[in-house]
């Protein structure tokens, strides 16, 4: 997975916005983002043995799918893509395994507050920790199908960035885990 600092130049969120400053695995680990490349099984049988092993290792017991395409989301496509790009965090980690298409996960680096853009493509399994501010968008191809993995029933509760959100227990725990006070 390629990662770099977002350029913050206004414009279409689906464009790369590559500042030319790469972000390596050490920086991603420091903010709690984990990446594993898991090759897509060929032929596509619906069986994912390597993902099954990761699920057992990390305690994921529930799976769901997101078909982030105009066909998959229908009339709510534009509103859903816009909502994904609003800066937010969750009380549980967010895990996605990309099987088709591509897009970007952006995460806030703390304490610099810079956006780190992660380019995700088929085979990328990304773990975004609870308590980190992040957002998601498709790239200009407007297509992604991904498996979502959960440790328990998903809550899908968004916490937009705010002063109050800074005091949420999972945000405080996140900041402790990355050793920033």
* Measured distance CA(122)–CA(102) in Å, rounded: 7
Query: Which of 28-32, 80-84, 103-107, 128-132 is predicted with the least confidence, judged by mean pLDDT?
Result: 80-84
Q: What is the pLDDT of residues 18-77, one digit of tens each?
A: 999 999 999 999 999 999 999 998 877 888 999 999 999 999 999 999 999 999 999 999
Q: What is the pLDDT of residues 94-108, one digit of tens each?
A: 999 999 999 999 999
Q: pTM surpassing 0.75?
A: yes
Whole-number Cα distances in Å, 58 to 34, 101, 102, 145 = 12, 25, 24, 22
Half-sphere exposure of 138 (CA within 13 A, CB side): 20
């Amino acid at each position: 997975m390629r990662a770099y600092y977002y350029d913050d130049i206004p414009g279409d969120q689906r464009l790369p916005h590559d500042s030319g400053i790469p972000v390596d695995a050490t920086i991603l680990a420091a903010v709690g983002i984990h990446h594993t490349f898991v090759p897509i099984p060929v032929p596509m049988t619906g069986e994912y043995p390597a993902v099954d092993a990761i699920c057992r290792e990390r305690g994921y017991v529930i799976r769901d799918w997101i078909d982030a395409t105009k066909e998959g989301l229908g009339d709510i496509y534009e509103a859903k893509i816009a909502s994904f790009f609003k800066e937010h965090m969750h009380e549980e980690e967010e895990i996605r395994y990309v099987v088709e298409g591509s897009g970007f996960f952006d995460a806030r680096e703390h304490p610099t507050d810079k956006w780190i853009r992660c380019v995700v493509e088929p085979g990328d399994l990304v773990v975004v920790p609870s308590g980190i501010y992040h957002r998601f968008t498709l790239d200009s191809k407007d297509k992604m199908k991904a498996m979502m993995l959960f440790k328990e029933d998903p809550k899908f509760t968004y916490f937009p960035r705010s002063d109050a959100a800074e005091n949420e227990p999972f945000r405080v725990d996140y900041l402790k885990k990355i050793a920033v006070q």
